[in-house]
Amino acid sequence: QPVLTQSSSVSASLGSSVKLTCTLSSGHSSYIIAWHQQQPGKAPRYLMKLEGSGRYNRGSGVPDRFSGSISGADRYLTISNLQSEDEADYFCETWDTSTRVFGGGTKLTVL
Amino acid sequence: QITLRESGPTLVIPTQTLTLTCTFSGFSLSTSGVGVGWIRQPPGKALEWLALIYWDDDKRYSPSLKSRLTITKDTSKNQVVLTMINMDSVDTATYYCANFWFGESFEHWGQGTLVTVSS
């Protein structure tokens, strides 16, 4: 079963860019992941799917300020031109035919 | 427009059984490739996947909770039901349902329902 590792917190300034990391466990570096955003007090919201090729597909209505990339087992979510509403928890998810796994989440603070 | 909504008790006594219902619209669980899953989130903690059911009634469970969970669907009512036996205080969490396509991530999420386990 894959394991997803995320840093617990990150902060960045309004209008800047930030790159969040989700690392796949050994032997699972080719897995597809998804990124979800959870604003305070709200349900998670699907942001995008990020394939092992580096190609990503944003969900409906997700601004193009959100983009994805990869490097080896690392999966990245980059948010450009940070807005106050981007302050949230960000979770990565992966899956196979038998299981679903979430990372521990990264809390993004917009300064 | 796809929507999902969780319903069930807000308070459960330890050792009792929890039954949650996910009622959805905008898609059908009789459509090939469609699935619905349950995920929970203890206060201040991460998301934890619990179970999922596919359009063909195939079911999958979290290995750590498999002995306590049952997931079923009622296609005619557009509902998915999760049952968890032997509830404990550590099961206090917000429980979400979400839909997905086969081989894809969870896409549309319900608003969640907070379940507190306490005597």
- Is the confidence at residue B97, as pLDDT, over 90? yes
A36 in contact with B, Cβ within 8 Å: yes
Distance CA B42, CA B10 (A): 14
**Partners of B38 in beta bridges:** B51, B97
The predicted pLDDT at position A111 comes to 95
User: At B56, is the pLDDT very low, low, confident or very high (cuts 50, 70, 90)?
Assistant: very high
A8 in contact with B, Cβ within 8 Å: no
Q: How many whole angstroms from its chain centre is CA A85?
A: 16
- Is the confidence at residue B26, as pLDDT, over 90? yes
Return the residue in A31, A95, A98 with the most chain B beta carbons within 10 A, the one to mutate for interface testing.
Answer: A95
Chain A: give the shortest CA distance to residue B106, in Å.
Answer: 7
Of all residues in chain B, the percent with pLDDT exceeding 70 is 100
Environment class of residue B16 by beta-carbon count within 10 Å: exposed (0-12), middle (13-18) or buried (19+)? Answer: middle
Chain B: give the shortest CA distance to residue A47, in Å.
Answer: 9
Mean pLDDT over all residues of chain B?
97
The predicted pLDDT at position A97 comes to 83
What's the per-residue H, E or C state across chain B?
A: CCEEEEECCCEECCCCCEEEEEEEECCCCCCCCEEEEEEEECCCCCCEEEEEEECCCCEEECCCCHHHEEEEEEHHHCEEEEEECCCCHHHCEEEEEEEEECCCCEEEECCCEEEEECC
Question: How many cross-chain Cβ pairs, A to B, lie less than 8 Å apart?
Answer: 55
A99 and B60 within 8 Å at the Cβ level: the answer is: yes
In the predicted model, residues of chain A with pLDDT beneath 70 are: none
Q: For residue A40, what is the nearest residue in chain B, using CA coordinates?
A: B44
- Whether A60 and A73 have beta carbons less than 8 Å apart is answered as no
Which residues on chain B are in Cβ contact (under 8 Å) with A36?
47, 105-106
